[in-house]
């Protein structure tokens, strides 16, 4: 691959992991070919669920009408998004690139990663440049010698330069910086990324520029060949920061005073957690016990299992229920903002900083939920550990500690031991947070709850969508019972929402034709299922056969590994915790 091609390809890989708007890349067949993790968060669906869908299947009822900007409401996620469309063409080939932005905060990052190798390198480069020049963040790249190799349109606007005037010039000949103060040159020198750092400089045409930037080393085949800077106008960045900080600083209540509660209008209770399966009932029982304790709680559950429902239920059943409940997703906030949001800021801590209480202090007397704590940097985790141990918090830039009385509930969407081994979670922090460890079973381990959940969702969408659905046809129910549900209850709810959008107002039963195409393609119906449907065989008979086969496989794996649960779990392709669930479920010792 040509050096310039390698530069673009590596640059896209870097952008894919460091910017924050949703991206859907749609091929000439109209199918989503690639998406980023932000789109997964916005839609609440996993990558494997999104790939292969049309945009209309991902967002039922969306009306594109060849508009460049489209607003869409995701009912299940209760959020508005804006879609922006870009088309890259070369001859008869084309890609549609949709940039999906949450409508509540204007300043977002865009990230794109294209993994297909195209035969036409010229087309590939044009596509890359087209996307880079369509995003809002400034992008500029220097090689190891400090020469500027690329600058996009947003960076041209920030600096007041044209790319043709500065390409191939040395970084320090263009910007009033030194080798130490330049984030890009420092990233090249230290071979380490520098994230969300404030910087100001004067360009050689006399323009004063104030930015927040991340500088990331670029490698090709293991060799360092430069660094990329991803920049945001500081004024816009500060506006976004203020929105986030105000969001977590409390909202006015009916009396005009700031509420100490989360911005949510209501809180869940244990009575609202639906389920009759033994595993979920055990989790509810453990959650109720945790509500009578003051110890920290660590919740492990896959995405979409209902971790925040459990957290709110514990809070509402505890003696802290009249105190504040605050929640934050650690994966959704840049590290540079997260520290200030958690611990507070003092005036002068950084440019534009004001005196503001952090969430830890705001949650005094109540509960603070730290979702996806494995996404928090290890440095920030060490500061959190000190707060937990000392029960005192110091604001960013301050020199005075404030005593706090707050209960911490945290969660992780991967097994904590795995997170520790991957260096995403400090083991000392985990032991401090997991005084009470509460696992939530995935939907595939409580398939007997599906009908109960479906009845609840149908009732909900009948009211919100003015439908008259009574139930689901046996073929669909059988398929639901034989699907793995990687997105768990959230995915089941989205599936129902999609079906309810497609069903006519005069139809009473959801059939195969209403189910999203990607789900239908995932279902593997064997002859036994087809026979069961034709003869009216009970769904429970099919489930019983599946359970018997699963139990036999577990027994065989345990015998093969001399009773070693860890090795048996590895053979079965499941986690140790999941195997322990099944051992208890089938009463195996």
Residues 296-354 pLDDT 10s: 999 999 989 999 999 999 999 999 999 999 999 888 777 667 888 898 887 754 545 56
Confirm whether 547 is domain-assigned: no
Sign of the Cα torsion 164, 169, 174, 175 reads positive
Name the pLDDT band for 252 (thresholds 50, 70, 90): very low
Where does the pLDDT of residue 65 fall: very low under 50, low under 70, confident under 90, or very high at 90 and above? low
Helix (H) or strand (E) holding 200: strand 194-202
Residue 193, in any domain of the structure: yes
- Are 219 and 254 found together in one domain? no
Residue 563 to residue 269: CA distance in whole angstroms: 40
Contact 16, 112 (CB under 8 A): yes
Which of 183, 202, 232 is at the close of a domain? 232
Query: For 361-418, what is each residue's pLDDT tens digit?
Result: 999 999 999 999 998 888 889 889 999 999 999 887 777 889 999 999 999 988 999 8
pTM of the model: 0.53
Please identify which residue in the block is written with the tokens 């099944």.
582
Residue 411 region by backbone torsions, left for phi larger than 0, else alpha for psi between -120 and 50, else beta:
beta
In a domain, 201, yes or no: yes
Q: Closest Cα to residue 211, out of 224, 195, 200?
A: 200
Tokens, residue 158: 């920030």
Tokens of 425: 């979670």
List Cβ neighbours of 432 (8 Å cut-off, separation of 6 or more).
296, 385, 388, 389
Q: Distances in Å between the alpha carbon of 82 and those of 19, 74, 88, 435, 556?
A: 17, 11, 20, 42, 52
Question: How many angstroms separate the CA atoms of 452 and 222, rounded?
Answer: 53
* 273 and 403 assigned to the same domain: yes
What is the number of alpha carbons within 13 Å of residue 493 lying toward its C-beta? 21
How far apart (Å, rounded) are the C-alpha atoms in residues 115 and 516?
26
Q: Which residues make beta-bridge pairs with 509? A: 471
Residues 545-559: tens digit of each pLDDT: 556 667 777 887 788
| Nearest Cα residue to 34 out of 104, 111, 125, 93 | 111
Transcribe 535-576 into DSSP letters: HT--HHHHHHHHHHHHHHHHHHHHHHTTT-HHHHHHHHTS-H
418 and 362 inside one domain: yes
Angle between helices 307-317 and 278-291 (to 10 degrees): 40
421 lies in some domain: yes
Q: Are residues 434 and 453 in the same domain?
A: no
In the chain, what is the straight-line distance between the N-terminal and C-terminal CA atoms, in Å?
57
Asked if residue 580 belongs to a domain, the reply is no
By CB atoms closer than 10 A (0-12, 13-18, 19+), residue 223 is exposed
SS3 at position 93 = strand
Kindly give the interhelix angle for 527-535 and 539-560, rounded to the nearest 10 degrees. Answer: 150
Cβ atoms of residues 454 and 497 within 8 Å: no
Predicted confidence at residue 28, as pLDDT, reads: 79
Cα distances (angstroms) measured from residue 227 to each of 100, 141, 145, 234, 420: 27, 6, 10, 21, 29
In a shared domain, residues 269 and 211: no
Q: 297: domain range?
A: 249-439
Backbone angles phi, psi at 132, to 5 degrees: -60, -35
In the structure encoding, which two tokens stand for residue 236, read together? 């816009």
pLDDT for 300 equals 95
> What's the rounded mean pLDDT across residues 154-164?
85
Same domain, 427 and 480: no
| Per-residue pLDDT at 505 exceeds 60 | yes
In the predicted model, what is the mean pLDDT of residues 86-112? 60
Q: Are 85 and 191 found together in one domain?
A: no
Tokens of 169: 């010039």
CB proximity list for 555: less than 8 A, separation 6 or greater: 588
The answer as to whether 242 is a domain residue is no
On the 0-12 / 13-18 / 19+ scale of CB atoms within 10 A, 244 is: buried
Residue 431 CA: distances (Å) to CA of 198, 300, 384, 388: 35, 14, 13, 12
pLDDT of residue 125: 56
In a domain, 364, yes or no: yes
The pLDDT score that the predictor gives to residue 107 is 36
Residue that finishes a domain, picked among 90, 108, 132: 132
Give the range among 102-106, 118-122, 271-275 with minimum mean pLDDT: 118-122
Q: In whole angstroms, what is the distance from residue 340 CA to residue 565 CA?
A: 43
Question: Looking at the 3D structure of the chain, how many domains does it have?
Answer: 4
73 in the same domain as 39: yes
Q: Tell me: do 282 and 419 sit in the same domain.
A: yes
- Token pair 């896209």 is found at 12
Average pLDDT, the chain: 78
Encode 476-500: b = buried (16+ Cβ within 10 Å), e = exposed.
bbbbbbbbebbbbbbbbbbbbbbbb
CATH number at residue 521: 1.10.8.60
Are 291 and 410 in the same domain? yes
Q: Is residue 515 part of a domain?
A: yes
Among 536, 465, 475, 470, CA closest to 498:
465
Q: What CATH number did the domain enclosing 197 receive? A: 3.30.450.20
Q: For residues 77 and 332, give the distance between their C-alpha atoms in angstroms, rounded to a whole number.
A: 15
Considering the domain architecture, whether residues 472 and 352 belong to the same structural domain is answered as: no
Side-chain half-sphere exposure of 482, counting CA atoms within 13 A: 24
Q: Domain boundary residue among 388, 420, 439?
A: 439
How far, in Å, CA of 355 to CA of 485, rounded?
Answer: 46
Range with the poorest average pLDDT among 246-250, 377-381, 583-587: 246-250
Same domain, 9 and 128: yes
Torsional sign, CA 289, 291, 295, 297: positive
């Amino acid at each position: 691959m040509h050096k310039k091609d390698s530069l673009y390809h590596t640059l896209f890989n870097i952008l894919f992991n460091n910017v924050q708007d949703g991206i859907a890349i749609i091929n000439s067949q109209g199918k989503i070919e690639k998406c980023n993790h932000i789109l997964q968060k916005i839609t609440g669906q996993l990558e494997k669920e999104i790939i292969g869908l049309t945009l209309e299947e991902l967002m039922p009822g969306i009306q594109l009408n060849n508009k460049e900007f489209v607003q869409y409401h995701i009912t299940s996620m209760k959020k508005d998004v804006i879609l922006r469309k870009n088309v890259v063409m070369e001859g008869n080939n084309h890609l549609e690139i949709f940039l999906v932005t949450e409508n509540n905060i204007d300043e977002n990052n865009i990230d794109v990663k294209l993994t297909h190798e195209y035969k036409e390198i010229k087309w590939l480069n044009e596509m890359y440049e087209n996307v880079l020049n369509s995003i809002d963040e400034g992008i500029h790249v220097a090689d190891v010698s400090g020469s500027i190799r690329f600058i996009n349109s947003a960076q041209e606007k920030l600096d007041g330069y044209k790319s043709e005037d500065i390409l191939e010039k040395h970084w320090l000949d263009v910007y009033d910086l030194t080798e130490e103060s330049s984030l890009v040159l420092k990233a090249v020198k230290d071979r380490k990324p520098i994230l969300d750092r404030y910087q100001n400089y004067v360009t050689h045409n006399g323009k004063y520029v104030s930015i927040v930037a991340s500088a990331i080393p670029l490698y090709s085949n293991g060799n360092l060949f430069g660094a990329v800077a991803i920049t945001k106008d500081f004024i816009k960045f500060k506006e976004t920061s203020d929105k986030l900080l105000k969001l977590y600083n409390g909202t006015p209540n009916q009396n005009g005073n700031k509420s100490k509660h989360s911005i949510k209008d209501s809180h869940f209770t244990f009575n609202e957690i639906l389920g009759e399966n033994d595993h979920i009932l055990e989790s509810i029982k453990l959650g109720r016990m945790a509500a009578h304790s003051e110890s920290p709680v660590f919740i492990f559950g896959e995405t979409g299992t209902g971790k925040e429902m459990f957290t709110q239920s514990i809070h509402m059943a505890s003696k802290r229920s009249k105190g504040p409940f605050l929640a934050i997703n650690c994966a959704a906030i840049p590290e540079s903002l997260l520290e200030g949001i958690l611990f507070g800021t003092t005036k002068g801590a950084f440019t534009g900083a004001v005196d503001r209480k952090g969430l830890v202090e705001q949650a005094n007397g109540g509960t603070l939920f730290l979702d996806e704590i494995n996404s928090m940097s290890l440095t920030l985790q060490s500061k959190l550990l000190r707060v937990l141990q000392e029960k005192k918090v110091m604001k960013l830039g301050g020199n005075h500690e404030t005593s706090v009385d707050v209960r911490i509930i945290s969660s992780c969407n991967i097994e904590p031991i795995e997170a520790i081994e991957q260096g995403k979670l400090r083991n000392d922090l985990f032991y401090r947070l997991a005084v009470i460890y509460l696992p939530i079973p995935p939907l595939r381990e409580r398939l007997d709850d599906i009908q109960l959940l479906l009845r609840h969702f149908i009732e909900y969408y009948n009211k919100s969508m003015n439908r008259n659905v009574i139930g689901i046809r046996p073929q669909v129910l059988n398929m639901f019972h034989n699907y793995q549900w990687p997105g768990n209850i959230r995915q089941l709810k989205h599936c129902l929402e999609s079906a309810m959008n497609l069903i006519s107002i005069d139809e009473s039963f959801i059939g195969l034709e209403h189910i999203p195409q990607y789900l239908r393609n995932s279902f593997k119906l064997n002859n036994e299922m087809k026979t069961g449907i034709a003869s009216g065989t009970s769904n429970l008979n099919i489930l019983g056969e599946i359970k018997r086969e699963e139990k036999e496989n577990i027994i065989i794996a345990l015998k093969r590994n001399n009773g070693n649960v860890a090795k048996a779990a590895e053979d079965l392709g499941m986690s140790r915790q999941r195997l322990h669930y099944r051992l208890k479920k089938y009463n195996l010792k």
